[in-house]
Structures are given as structure tokens and as C-alpha cells.
Amino acid sequence: MNLQQLETFLWLARLQSFTRTAQRLNATQSTISMRVSDLERELGVQLVDRSQRQIHITGKGLDLMVYAERMHKLVSDIRSQVGDPAKIGGTIRIAAAELVALTWLPGLVSRLNALYPGSKVELEVGLRGTSHSRLKSGELQLCILPVFGAETPGFEYTSLGEVDFRFMASPGFDRGGNPFSPADIAGLPLIMLGPNSVVAELQLDWFRRNGVTPGTVTQSNSMEISAGLVRSGLGVSFLPLDYYAADIAAGRMICLETSPAISAVPFCVIQSANAPSYVDDITTVIKEVVRSLDPPAQA
């Protein structure tokens, strides 16, 4: 039994004519008859009563029609959602940085659900990991991540703006407004995101360029966990300034000014250069969502 036989039988049952079925499937009548006969032989039942001038579908044939209809719809869905590279797939898979997930990502998901009601949005929140290889393989359609260093060939980057990060600590680390040097920061208990984090790479590069190696480092896989440790007075962490402005205003954290300062962190939408055209459409939606936020988005 194969899909071609089931499709042939389904159209024969619908059209009630070998001639019209052959025309519909662009085949000869003998081919249509052979496919149905092969299907009957394999199932061991009569599907079509050919004894009269007008063909009739038998009881077993009517039972088979239910399954053939399901198969036809399933095959159509596969061709529509998977087979057409220019059409949006059944699932939109996006990886996003934690800061994005905690700020404007819900607005994006709501917009995508409205624009593509037949699709499902799957989100992965966390560190960068192997995002580029997963984009290239098609496992992910888009990544919304901070970018540090040179862009990787074979991928397209769409800027969403920059975010100011600062070293933050509990008020117990206050030393009267004097700036902290890289050596000063390196001597403090650091709470740093894991090795796949772009933000961690940025910090380590800042230390390296200033000839310093951090001492005590506690690794965390979450920005919010890091912030909780900071509030508890357990160390210093590099966190987004605007997102934790309320903590600073309430006296739960202080911002440690450094000299030299660390550059703002750019955030981008990243996609494979050979991604389907619908991925470009989603990137445009992301840009529109970011522009529509008031105040302007902080990635």
C-alpha cells in the first residue's frame, strides 16, 4: 500500500468515475484501475463494485475513505508546512537572551501568534551555546542575542540597539564614589554567566585588555540568579543598568563605576544567510515590535 494508491482510490470514490479520475490525476484509465486493484489485493477486500454501469464504493471502501481522507490532509499539511521553503513553517523556533525574554519578548510572541495563527512559536531562553550551527541546520529560525566580536560569515545580523551593562553589588561594597579599576573588580568575588555567554566574553576581554585575571568567580546560568546573589551581598555581577534601575533606586544594589568603562553591548537578530524568505518577514516584525515600545526597547 502506498500514498499514490490511496490518493487514486480517494479521487475515484469522490468522482465515481474511472474516466474523470484518470483526467484528474493525469493518468490512463488502465493505470487507475491497476492501482485500485493492487490496493484491493493487498487489503484482501473489495473496495469498488464494478458490476454495474455506475461504480459503487463498497462498505469496506467507505471505511477506507475515512483513513484516506486523513492521509490526504496529512500529506497536504506536510507539503504546505514543510515542503515549501518560501512559506512559514508550522513551528517558529527562536532562541533569545534572558534579558530579551524578561522585557519585550512576550509582546513579540503575541504579535507572531496574531500574524501566523496556524503556526506555533517555540522559545529557547538562555546562553548562546551553538546557536550559529543550529541556525545553519534549520533547528532554529532566529536568535535574538548580544553580539561581541566579529560577525560570523554566512549569517545576517540585524541591529536592535545597545544595552548599558554595569558591575553591580550590594551597598556593602560602596567606597564613596571612587571608580574601580579592572584590578579592583578582579579582586572582588565575581558572579559571572557561563562560558557560552556573550556578556561573560565581554567582561573577560575587558580584563585581558587591562592585563588582569579575575580571582574568585562563581558561575551562574541566569541573570536573575546572579542579581539575587548580588542583592544578598555575595558578590559583584555585570548586569543591565536600566533593567535593575529600580533595585538601585531602592538601595538594594549599587552601580560600581569603572575606569576604563565597558562599552555598551549590542543586541541583534541573527539568521542564516540562506534562511527561507519568511524568516526575513519575522525579523521585520521583531524590528517593528522593538520600535513600538515606549520607552524604547532595552534588549
Asked whether residue 124 falls in the same domain as residue 243, the answer is no
Q: Domain boundary residue among 23, 54, 83?
A: 83
Q: Which helix (H) or strand (E) holds 246?
A: helix 245-249
Q: Do 252 and 272 belong to one domain?
A: no
In the chain, the N- to C-terminal Cα span, in Å, equals 54
Q: Could you say which of 83, 114, 130 is where a domain stops?
A: 83
Q: Does a structural domain hold residue 97?
A: yes
User: Which grid cell sits at 111?
Assistant: 504579535
Is position 299 within any domain? no
Which of 65, 83, 101 is a domain's end point? 83
- Say if residue 139 is in the same domain as residue 157: yes
Q: CB of 186 within 8 A of CB of 214? A: yes
Co-location of 241 and 272 in the same domain: no
How far is the CA of 233 from the CAs of 15, 72, 139, 228, 244, in angstroms? 77, 62, 40, 9, 16
247 — alpha (psi -120 to 50), left (phi > 0) or beta? Answer: alpha
Do 143 and 271 share a domain, yes or no? Answer: yes
Q: How many domains is the chain built from?
A: 3
Could you tell me the pTM of the whole model? 0.66
By residue range, what is the domain housing residue 278? Answer: 91-161+266-292
**Residue 214 C-alpha from the chain's centroid:** 34
> CA angle, 22 as apex, 20 and 27 as ends, to 5°?
160
Report the mean per-residue pLDDT for the chain: 86
Percent of the chain with pLDDT over 70: 92
Same domain, residue pair 169 and 234: yes
In a domain, 139, yes or no: yes
Which CATH number do you get for residue 203? Answer: 3.40.190.10
For residue 297, tell me if it sits in a domain: no
Q: Are residues 259 and 275 in the same domain?
A: no
Same domain, 74 and 120: no
**Whether residue 72 is found in the same domain as residue 97:** no
**Co-location of 50 and 120 in the same domain:** no
The length of the chain in residues reads 299
What pLDDT, on a 0 to 100 scale, did the predictor assign at position 269? 94
CATH code, 17: 1.10.10.10
Higher-scoring residue by pLDDT: 240, 197:
240
Q: Are residues 257 and 271 in the same domain?
A: no
Q: What is the pLDDT of residue 133?
A: 80
**pLDDT tens per residue across span 57-103:** 999 989 998 998 888 878 766 665 565 544 565 788 899 999 999 99
Task: Specify whether 96 is located in the same domain as 149.
Answer: yes
Q: Is residue 183 part of a domain?
A: yes
Residue 298 lies in a domain: no
Looking at 195-199, 212-216, 273-277, 284-288, which range is the least confident one?
A: 195-199
Helices (H) and strands (E) in the chain, counts: 12, 12
DSSP-based three-state secondary structure for 137: helix
pLDDT computed for residue 127 by the predictor: 58
147 found inside a domain:
yes
Give the model's pLDDT for residue 297. 45
Q: Is residue 70 part of a domain?
A: yes
Average pLDDT over residues 230-251: 95
